A and B are shown apart, each in its own frame.
Chain A
């Protein structure tokens, strides 16, 4: 059994090829910066897509976990002089525990109540990060020292490019594996019909908790990387607006599609940069694009295009 014989293999190979070729086409560090942000957003969105797209549970608060990861890395490395890797792991563990504790009650909620619950959680996290200013620097944020692993300190956009690319490929690979496994089928079954899944022996609560915790930890790890890469973080990284951006990336790219999450992240990271040409009209155009896409490509970009490509009508 070849390890390459896996679901989504072609997509993964295409992604790797793109990553290999892309540096040749990026004129300067500014463009690398955008691509790195795409990568980081993609990683979070792949995790979030497991929750929203596959398990069918919405979260409007995932930036909160991203923010906790970022701040744990920032505070532990800068204020307490911890090694970056240890800080990152501790952040992920804390997020794992927090999300595990909160998952049971929150995953009992349905539809709009779940949206409200997760939104509230995210807002509370942002407020804590904003108000505990002795630790976090308050609303104006705090600087973060560079990343280091085994004494090596990656510096510069090109090095970070390859780091984020490697993490992204690994995340895509793991996500594709998970979706195609019995666990992945159980998750999708939860989305399809909780009652039916349950009568077939799927412990629905367990899987909801699992996927919630998993997506939260992925967000936390990406948050840590973001903090070290960008060098300066503010509570906005954990804010409602960021949570919304993440969900929008997932939905825009296409729910229940790992590559959709990547595509969505890419579009929504690049779009605001392109829209700066509209100056004052930036938000107006962005809102209109969002509404238009959701109306005309309801299932998201990648699934809609895939259907067109396969000549199917829906």
Chain B
């Protein structure tokens, strides 16, 4: 059925006020689905079935519809990811400026291909499409932070600093 491999049975937001705040902003509850999923992912690291159920309950929709929504977006992870998610932009501008070399570099360095996580659960490598920072290509997004105008050396330094 779903690609979800979570085993957690229940999920609760640690900060219910934030949930209420989000709900209060929208004219209807369902519109809050995306922010709620974002919030849950910040908390859990990924979207588990339990998250889906909880969000469905809050937004008064069917869990399937929440899953329908969550699975559509690339930023919602339906399975556990590494602590640092290395998202290398591979679209044209970045590709022209050496993004592919960065991917190869990371693969060589950690032995993980795109979509894979290091055994220690620290890094997940992802090839993503345009990150909207083509002027400073190549770009790697690590979790929420953009790192622009990278070369192998700068990337190495950056990765070291994450140790």
B and A form one assembly:
no
Give the interface of A toward B (CB within 8 A): none
